[in-house]
Amino acid sequence: MTLEEQVVNKLIEKNFHISFAESCTGGMCCGTIVNVPNASRVLDMSFVTYADYAKCKLIGVNEKTVADFGVVSEQVAYEMAQGVAKTANSEVGVGVTGIAGPTGATETKPVGMVCFGFCINGKVTTVTKYFGNIGRNIVRKSSVDFVMTQLLKLLD
């Protein structure tokens, strides 16, 4: 059974709904869930919030948080996860923001740095992963795999 099938089954078992706010993954997390039969039992809506203003306007990320910490930060990932769960009225919200590359890196935020937020029943946890400069689409795919793996752990 694939990771995403396990996640969908776990969500069904708990009678939870999931929503995603995705930046660098561009909807791949949501798309991965939709690959699974019965996804409609756990997914009502998700957002690709690639632009900073989309994060603020659609899912309630505070502009000051973006200004103070940068859009690629655990603070923004936290607000993305919390905001998407609230907006979608879901028990589980996931926020993903990062630098897939090949450009966009800074001295403190290298290519391959991705910040994740997981909101489950109002409790938010954040994680930053450094996948390295392994190629844009490999960073994106690695991020999706990480999200699915973390969801299985957090939903247990």
How confident is the model at residue 144, as a pLDDT?
98
Instruction: Describe the crossing of helices 52-59 and 74-88 by its angle, rounded to 10 degrees.
Output: 40
How confident is the model at residue 92, as a pLDDT?
98
3-state SS of 118-145 is EEECCEEEEEEEECCCCCHHHHHHHHHH
Closest CA to 116 of 135, 143, 89: 143
How confident is the model at residue 21, as a pLDDT?
98
pTM of the model: 0.97
How confident is the model at residue 138, as a pLDDT?
98
Query: For the chain, which domains are there?
Result: 3-155 (3.90.950.20)
Q: Looking up tokens 């939709």, which residue turns up?
A: 34
- Sequential pLDDT tens for the chain (156 residues): 999 999 999 999 999 999 999 999 999 999 999 999 999 999 999 999 999 999 999 999 999 999 999 999 999 999 999 999 999 999 999 999 999 999 999 999 999 999 999 999 999 999 999 999 999 999 999 999 999 999 999 999
Q: Looking up tokens 């756990």, which residue turns up?
A: 42
How confident is the model at residue 64, as a pLDDT?
98
Beta-carbon contacts of residue 33 (< 8 Å; ≥ 6 apart): 4, 7, 8, 18, 20, 39, 42, 43
Question: What percentage of the chain exceeds 70 in pLDDT?
Answer: 100
- pLDDT tens digits, one per residue of 115-137: 999 999 999 999 999 999 999 99
How confident is the model at residue 87, as a pLDDT?
98
